[in-house]
Structure 1
Amino acid sequence: MDEQKTSSVFGGLSPKQTFLGGIVAGVLVLCTIGFIILLTLFLKGGTFVSESNGSDGPAPTERVAAAAPTPAPSGSIVLRAVDGDDHIRGDKDAKITIVEFSDFECPFCKRFHETLQQVMDKYGDSVRWVYRQWPIDSLHPKARTEALASECAAEQGKFWEFADKIFEVTPSNNGLDLSQLPTYAGEVGLNVGKFNDCLASEKYASAVEEDIQEALASGGRGTPHSILIGPDGEKTLISGAQPFSSVEAAIQQYL
């Protein structure tokens, strides 16, 4: 009986109508699946990377899920040692280090920047925050220029002031007006003439590219990508824009 009813429903349609109906149904299913995937990405936090930033490194193919900080197997995350060339906030000799690879136009990085500011307010004597560059060109073409600008600010001893300013004013997702960078440089106390000359020269392009390659080599698949390093060198992966409570829990295990 059921088969007869089904047959009668489709029997009234021409082959062309049946074919077109199938296409429409398929498109609707794909759109629904796509919406669910995008909604999941947004709710979890983190920028998905699907290209290789135009570099020669391996192309990231997975998104960094905002899962709880996870201890990494020994030797699975390779990072260069923190040194005097790094941008360090907090006690330079702190026993806990958070190395963050970030993109100035990533909305999740903007959120996580505030989280790490909270961390430093509370644990600045025990934690040092190391910022390394990972502008994702395929998503935020302006971010590499902002990364270069921050390196020029560092040249004048104002990296963190400039970085805080950019994350404060940018609407994210490639929304910052790059022509305003000199204005922001002046607002944080930089010599604007020297800043402009430095930015125009792109003298720190290779340093930014080195950070990008390190982010990829350390297993990064999206921004923000952070690694917490304990007193004995043990590493904990902090994936995506974790809330303060999750980062604090990872810190507390070493205090």
Structure 2
Amino acid sequence: MKKCILAVLLLVSLAACGAQKEAAKPEADVSAVMKENLGKFFSSKNMNDVTYEVEVIEPVEGVEALKFVKLTFKDAERSQEQYVFTDGRYIIPDITEVATGAGIKDKLVFKNTPAANIDLSKLTLAYGSKDAKNYIVEISDFQCPYCRRTHEYLKEKLAGKDVAIYFMHFPLAFHPKAEIYAKVFEAGMAQNANFYDELYSTTPDFDAKTDAEIVDYFAAKTADAAAFKALVSDNATAAKVAEQMKTAQALGVTGTPALYFNGKLVGGFKPPMFDLAIETFK
């Protein structure tokens, strides 16, 4: 799909503020007006191969003329979803609460989207028990700075909670040690050596070591160094990491961190959203 679709669509116009003064439109009217205007937009750009759906989720509290809407765009290559605020004529990507400075879109998306169905059996348990009442699927890169901040934040917030964390690898190409750290983690867990915390806390000097030096360092901490090294080099370990990245991409993940709290997504380092998600735990 052409990248310009949402870049052009998601323009914030001051005229949108005027929508607050109008009488609130019924959901069906907003949807119909939005579809009509999307049709005009795509026609003007000669993008007639793009189809679209408009689903009105709920009105915005206090600004009833605006609706929280899910837009779904499709063409021959892919499908893309986007949540926005609109009166059918204007699009607002997010609305910020003046008192808190926080946007409300993330909260509404978390509230209204269904939980993803993720096969935990294909992931590695990094923290907690498989019998826990709650779970988090952590899609992450051990060398990602925002993933590290997320890890430290959640480590404190989850203390004493009945929760399991399952790791899904997403090593980013521009982090030179992300791939080897993913393999070290898997090889360690296979030998009952959990390097989860330590891999998130490596220093720049340690990251500058060669892959062989890194493997030697962690191997010395295991019960069988030779077996650990063999696991790190095993094609099956590399395949597991690659397969998990494909699974994350199929979920729509494009960057890290991305966390599923009992199946509900919070993307990025967003402490207020982490807190909200943890509040929903059983």
TM-score in terms of structure 1 length: 0.61
| Alpha carbons 1:91, 1:127 under 8 Å: kept | yes
Give the Å deviation of 1:188: 4.0
Q: Does 1:214 align with 2:253?
A: no
Aligned to 2:155: 117
Q: Residues 222 and 187 of structure 1: is their aligned pair in 2 closer, same or farther, counting only changes over 3 Å?
A: same
Residue number among 242, 252, 255 corresponding to 2:270 in the alignment: 242
Could you tell me how far 1:84 is from its partner in structure 2?
A: 7.3
What is the match of residue 204 of structure 1? Answer: 237
Contact 1:104 1:110 in 2 (8 A): yes
- Aligned pair partner of 2:170 in 134, 142, 150: 134
Structure 1 unmatched ranges of 5 or more: 1-57, 230-234
**SS of 2:165 mapped into structure 1:** strand
**1:165–1:184: 8 Å Cα contact kept in structure 2?**
no
Give the distance between the partners of 1:215 and 1:189, measured in 2 at CA: 29
Per the alignment, residue 180 of structure 2 pairs with 145
Query: Within 2, Cα distance between the matches of 1:228 and 1:178?
Result: 33
Matches of 2:253 and 2:273, distance apart in 1: 19
Matches within 5 A, 1:131-210: 131-137=167-173, 139-158=174-193, 161-171=194-204, 175=208, 177-186=210-219, 188-210=221-243
Residues 190 and 181 of structure 1, relative CA distance in 2, 3 Å threshold? farther
Partner deviation per Cα, 1:45-73 (whole Å, 9 max, x = no partner):
xxxxxxxxxxxxx8x9x9xxx97564265
Deviation at 1:223, TM superposition (A): 0.3
Q: Which residue, 101, 110, 118 being the options, matches 1:80? A: 118
Structure 2 gap ranges (5+): 1-77, 83-101
Q: Secondary structure at the match of 2:171?
A: coil
Matched, 1:224 2:249: no
Return the alpha-carbon distance in structure 2 between the equivalents of residues 127 and 73 of structure 1: 22
**Structure 1 Cα separation of the partners of residues 126 and 184 of structure 2:** 17
Which segments of structure 1 move beyond 6 Å, counting only runs of 4 or more? none
CA distance in structure 2 between the partners assigned to 1:103 and 1:84 by the alignment = 17
- Give the structure-2-normalised TM-score: 0.55
Q: Secondary structure at the match of 1:98?
A: strand
Bigger RCO of structures 1 and 2 (CA < 8 A, at least 6 apart): 1
AA matched with 2:142: F
Please tell me the residue identity of whatever aligns with 1:134.
Answer: F
Q: For residues 92 and 182 of structure 1, what CA distance do their matches in structure 2 show? A: 28
More strand by share: 2
2:148, 2:254 → 1: CA distance? 17
Task: Indicate if the aligned counterparts of 2:135 and 2:261 stay in contact, CA closer than 8 A.
Answer: yes
CA distance in 1, matches of 2:221, 2:280: 36
Instruction: Classify the secondary structure of the residue corresponding to 2:201.
Output: helix
Give the Å deviation of 1:168.
1.3
Displacement of 1:81 in angstroms is 2.2
Does the Cα contact within 8 Å between 1:170 and 1:176 map onto a contact in 2? no
1:71 corresponding residue in structure 2:
110
What is the Cα deviation at residue 213 of structure 1?
0.8
- Amino acid in structure 1 at the alignment position of 2:177: K
Q: How far apart are residue 254 of structure 1 and its match?
A: 3.5
Amino acid at match of 2:280: Q
| CA offset digits 1:100-136 (Å, max 9, x no partner) | 110011111111111221233131xx22111111101
* Percentage of identical aligned residues: 27
RMSD over equivalenced CA pairs, Å: 3.2
Tell me by how many angstroms 1:176 deviates.
5.7
